[in-house]
A and B are shown apart, each in its own frame.
Chain A
């Protein structure tokens, strides 16, 4: 089955800096890669996703990149703000979605 590894487990940045979270997956058949943001005490919510037929997708301050050959994908957040502080999960899916272990991002004002 699919195995997703996510790094780093914690990340602290200054407000305005960029943050990058990286994930690798094991199943080359996986073709859908969503990212979820989970604020304290809340449910995970989809923030952006990418499918295997594209290499990059951007939505305002967040972007995802996908390297199918290397089987890794990344989340990039630019101009970070304190409200970006949360736990971020990557996931990979073909038939069944598997989540990474999460990255706790702290943005210091």
Chain B
């Protein structure tokens, strides 16, 4: 009965590979996010989707492509992985801009 679930929890891969992270929420929220948290712990927003439509696209390399098949899912595909992509990626969802965000458990991505 996890509210926001991400898979996989850990992802270890070689530089240059392509990988995907999946996120699903069962809270009925319309808005979902992807955040990147580096070793300094800063939570940097990457993308925001509202009801399957892209709302926020921060300065993120176009190697990162989000996809929202429906409002309960927001997946993140990363092409040509680089060392600097190593981080923890968090998915979150909310019912509105002035409501709490609920975070998934994170995906720790390590690039060798």
> Given A32-B98, A43-B90, does the pair A98, B45 have CB atoms closer than 8 Å?
yes
Query: B103, A45: Cβ atoms under 8 Å?
Result: yes
Query: A42, B48: Cβ atoms under 8 Å?
Result: no
Please name the residue on chain A nearest to B91 by beta carbon: A43
21 contacts between A and B (CB under 8 A): A31-B98, A32-B98, A34-B101, A38-B41, A43-B90, A43-B103, A43-B105, A46-B100, A46-B101, A46-B102, A87-B41, A94-B97, A96-B45, A96-B56, A97-B94, A97-B101, A98-B45, A99-B43, A101-B40, A101-B41, A102-B42
Question: What count of chain B residues pass the 8 Å CB interface test?
Answer: 20
Interface residue ranges, A against B (CB under 8 Å): 31-32, 34, 38, 42-46, 49, 51, 87, 89, 93-99, 101-102, 104
Please name the residue on chain B nearest to A101 by beta carbon: B42
Complex CA gap A31/B106 in Å reads: 28
What 10 A-B pairs have minimum CB-CB distances, sorted nearest first?
A32-B98, A95-B97, A43-B103, A99-B43, A46-B100, A102-B41, A44-B103, A43-B105, A101-B42, A87-B41
How near does chain A come to B37, taking the closest CB pair, in angstroms? 9
Please name the residue on chain B nearest to A98 by beta carbon: B45
Chain B residues with CB under 8 Å of A94's CB are: 97-98
B66, CB-defined interface residue at 8 Å: no
Query: A44, B43: Cβ atoms under 8 Å?
Result: yes
B99, CB-defined interface residue at 8 Å: yes
Chain A residues with CB under 8 Å of B100's CB are: 34, 46, 49
Chain B residues with CB under 8 Å of A89's CB are: 43
A interface footprint on B68-91 (CB within 8 Å = 1, 0 otherwise): 000000000000000000000010
Residue of B90, B97, B99 near A44 (CB, 8 A) is: B90
Complex CA gap A34/B105 in Å reads: 19
Complex CA gap A51/B100 in Å reads: 11
Chain B residues with CB under 8 Å of A31's CB are: 98
